[in-house]
Amino acid sequence: MNKIEIVNDKIIAKQLDDSITVSSALNNINLRQIKIKITKDTDLTIDYSSNENTKLDFYINISPNVTCNLYENKQLGNYKLGYKYYLDKNSTLNIYKINDVTNIKELLIFNLNGENAKVNYLLKTISKNHEKYDLMVYHNSSHTISNLINHGVNINDGQIDFTVSGFVPNGKKDCLVDQKNRIINLTNNVCAIKPNLFIDENDVIANHSAHIGKCNDDEMFYLMSRGITYKEAENLIIKGFLLKGLNNYQDEMNEIIQKYWR
């Protein structure tokens, strides 16, 4: 599998075939920009770790008729990351992301530029401090699809903020805009989800869901009615919540779960 390893703001290793080109340079304000172009169907893993304040800007282009599975795993450190995705006609980008970091701010902008472009995005994060995610999806062509899932578990001094916005301009028909956001908050800290749908076209299917709270009482009752303690029931629910949908990162997520919910 294609792989890029980033430590702090530098690419320290890459293993890529001819489906991917990567360039990296500092811009005029000394911010590192990483440009990735995907030209053939492929999988790409990006592993991050950081022991300082890491700032990076990504520009990711998906060529027409190409499907890319992008796996991201962030560990440790403080991050401030910007992502701009450009999806051409008939391209599909599937993103699976797990974050287990100290602090993080992410700004993600998805540009669905070509007809039938599709993005599926899944984030699983465990927040111990401040985490802020701003996602914007621009449906710049007809028949484009966005499915965004943001799942966070808030522990210790954690605080999570998801702002998720979908834009469909007038004339961009038959788009599907879907976002599901959920935070299991195991603290008394305030978390926020701001789902926004800016739709100027009638011929659109748009859905959003937002849920912040402790574990569901009925689910807890069901598990406890089988002899499982409150703590064990909570651990099972969180484990299920974090592992669901993460086929490629089961081992990594299991390690993280072991760390916090032994």
Partner 1 sequence: MNTLKIDKITVKVNDKIILKNFSLTIKSGEIHAIMGPNGTGKSTLTKVIMGDPNYQITKGAITFNDKKINDLKVYERARLGIFLGMQMPMEIEGVSNADFLRTALRSQNENFKLYSFIKELDSQIDKLKMDKDMIHRGINEGFSGGERKKNEILQMHLLKPKVVMLDEIDSGLDVDSLKIVGNSVMEYYEKEKPAILLVTHYQRLLDYIKPNYVHIMSDGKIVKSGDASLAKQIEKEGYDKIKETSTKVQEEIK
Name the site residues for partner 1 (rule: CB under 8 A). Answer: 217-219, 221-230, 232-233, 236-237, 239-244
The residue among 70, 79, 61, 74 whose CA lies nearest residue 23 is 61
22 or 224, CB closer to partner 1? 224
8 or 120, CB closer to partner 1? 120
11 or 212, CB closer to partner 1? 212
Closest approach, Cβ 42 to partner 1, in A, equals 28
93 or 242, CB closer to partner 1? 242
Separate counts of helices (H) and strands (E) for the chain:
3, 17
Three-state secondary-structure class, residue 96:
strand
Closest approach, Cβ 45 to partner 1, in A, equals 23
93 or 233, CB closer to partner 1? 233
Q: What is the CA radius of gyration of the chain?
A: 19
The DSSP bridge pattern shows strands 32-38 and 20-26 to be antiparallel
Q: Write down how long the chain is.
A: 262
Closest approach, Cβ 29 to partner 1, in A, equals 42
Sheet containing 42-49: order of strands: 10-15, 2-7, 42-49, 67-75, 92-100, 118-127, 145-154, 175-185, 204-213
Closest approach, Cβ 247 to partner 1, in A, equals 12
Closest approach, Cβ 1 to partner 1, in A, equals 25
Closest approach, Cβ 176 to partner 1, in A, equals 22
60 or 126, CB closer to partner 1? 126
Instruction: Give the whole-angstrom CA distance, residue 161 versus residue 183.
Output: 9
Instruction: Give the whole-angstrom CA distance, residue 78 versus residue 84.
Output: 20
What's the sign of the alpha-carbon dihedral 154, 108, 148, 161? positive
Residue 5 CB neighbour total at 10 angstroms:
15
Closest approach, Cβ 262 to partner 1, in A, equals 14
176 or 237, CB closer to partner 1? 237
Tell me if 189 sits within 8 A of 154, measured CB to CB.
yes
